[in-house]
């Protein structure tokens, strides 16, 4: 079976499994804000129609200025991209022919971007259950590699590694001239986030990737940004196609950055639902990753391969993210996004029915 490479687009799951797609279904495979976009997107959407007849600003200058002010960082240290995926692709080109290590399990795009650019790729495997890397393993990888990719909070586990852990890695990266590429696509769902942005001045090896599509629920627009040393940003910008980011996304990004109340409301809602879900899972003695963000891994003990459970859910219109292409956990866990209260209720009902019918 050829599994879809990512979450979302559930029609490809049903095609791969040769199943009819239910009319009513809920997609838990895409980690998008369950509250949806900020109200300003709906209220001002009509204003965007006039932008489609004009070329977008190839440098995203207005959005860059806004980010610069908010993050207290030079505009020369910011690169706007067509979603995190484009920025990851550009990094793959920058590292062409060199050695890259990836902390696993992790987002699959890092390896794909590196492989297509003929990089030698190695892995640092986090221990299943604790989801911590071995200190000796990661330090050896830094010593041998030109770059280390770390998703933080981790995708798919949702585990967050604090600033102290990152500084320790950066000290080693500076010693061995290894870039530390940290993907913070879901950082703004964290209630207790420790910003790494101030570390950019001290550690030119640090590269941070961020997304604007997850928190603000605008994945169809594709928008993200990268923070790094001026030289790194300059090198990446030379590889980026002109007019890479469309005008609608740039304008929406500016609006979203003013929606701090939306971020705070989302954090509280996700935290509340995550606690409720985890209490339910623990009451059934199910295994769940210690996530701090808006998604988590779930496992039915006693099932080495979760396919039966996955198939049951999919047939009932509930689509989690399979883990077949996550290195080190292939098929042993399922990833779920935290959705609205009603959607999470439906998920818990389905899980409880599965447990009752299989015990």
pLDDT tens digits, one per residue of 24-64:
899 999 999 999 999 999 999 999 999 999 999 999 999 99
pLDDT at 359 over 70: no
User: Is 151 a residue whose pLDDT tops 90?
Assistant: yes
Q: Which one is predicted more confidently, 7 or 287?
A: 287
pLDDT band at 6 (very low <50, low <70, confident <90, very high): confident
* pLDDT confidence of residue 17: 84
**Residue 2: which pLDDT band, with cuts at 50, 70 and 90?**
confident
Residue 132 tokens, joined: 């911590």
Answer yes or no: are the C-beta atoms of 103 and 94 closer than 8 Å. Answer: no
Tokens read off for 193: 């986030």
* Closest listed residue to residue 291, CA positions, set 154, 159, 201, 151: 159
Catalogue all structural domains in the chain, each as residue range(s) with its CATH number. Answer: 10-30+261-358 (3.90.1150.10), 39-258 (3.40.640.10)
pLDDT of residue 169: 97
pLDDT at 138: 97
Per the model's pLDDT, the better-predicted residue between 21 and 100 turns out to be 100
Lowest-confidence pick of 37-41, 87-91, 151-155, 354-358: 354-358
**CA–CA separation, 226 and 88 (whole Å):** 9
pLDDT at position 358: 79
Mean pLDDT for the stretch of residues 75-82: 98
Cα 290 to Cα 220: distance, rounded to the nearest angstrom: 29
Using alpha carbons, list the distances in angstroms from residue 5 to 153, 238, 293.
Answer: 20, 29, 22
Instruction: Please check whether residue 103 is in contact with residue 133, taking contact to mean a CB–CB distance below 8 angstroms.
Output: yes
Q: Label residue 324 by pLDDT band (50, 70, 90).
A: confident
User: In this predicted structure, what is the pLDDT of residue 195?
Assistant: 97
| Mean pLDDT, the chain, integer | 95
């Amino acid at each position: 079976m050829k599994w879809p490479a990512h979450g979302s687009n559930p029609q490809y799951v049903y095609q791969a499994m040769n199943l009819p797609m239910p009319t009513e279904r809920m997609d838990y495979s895409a980690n998008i804000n369950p509250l949806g976009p900020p109200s300003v997107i709906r209220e001002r959407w009509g204003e965007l129609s006039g932008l489609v007849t004009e070329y977008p600003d190839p440098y995203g200058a207005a959005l860059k200025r806004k980010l610069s002010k908010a993050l207290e960082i030079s505009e020369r240290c910011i690169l706007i991209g067509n979603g995190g995926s484009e920025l990851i692709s550009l990094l793959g080109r920058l590292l062409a022919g060199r050695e890259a290590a990836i902390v696993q399990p992790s987002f699959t795009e890092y390896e794909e971007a590196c492989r297509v650019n003929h990089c030698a790729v190695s892995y640092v495997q986090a221990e299943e259950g604790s989801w911590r890397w071995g200190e000796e393993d990661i330090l050896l990888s830094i010593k041998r590699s030109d770059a280390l990719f770390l998703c933080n909070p981790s995708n798919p586990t949702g585990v967050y590694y604090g600033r102290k852990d990152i500084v320790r890695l950066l000290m080693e990266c500076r010693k061995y001239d290894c870039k530390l590429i940290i993907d913070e696509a879901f950082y703004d769902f964290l209630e207790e986030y420790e910003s790494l942005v101030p570390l950019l001045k001290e550690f030119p090896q640090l590269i941070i990737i961020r997304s604007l599509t997850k928190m603000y629920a605008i994945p169809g627009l594709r928008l993200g940004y990268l923070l790094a040393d001026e030289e790194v940003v300059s090198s990446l910008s030379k590889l980026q196609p002109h007019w890479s980011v469309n005008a609608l996304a740039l304008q929406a990004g500016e609006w979203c950055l003013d929606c701090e109340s939306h971020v705070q409301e989302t954090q509280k809602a996700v935290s509340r639902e995550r606690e409720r879900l985890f209490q339910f899972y623990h009451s059934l003695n199910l295994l769940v990753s210690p996530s701090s963000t808006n998604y988590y891994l779930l496992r039915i003990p006693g099932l080495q391969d979760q396919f039966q459970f996955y198939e049951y859910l999919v047939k009932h219109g509930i689509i989690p993210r399979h883990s077949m292409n996550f290195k080190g956990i292939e098929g042993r866990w399922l990833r779920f996004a935290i959705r609205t209260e009603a959607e999470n209720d439906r998920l818990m009902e389905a899980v409880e029915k599965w447990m009752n019918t299989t015990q």
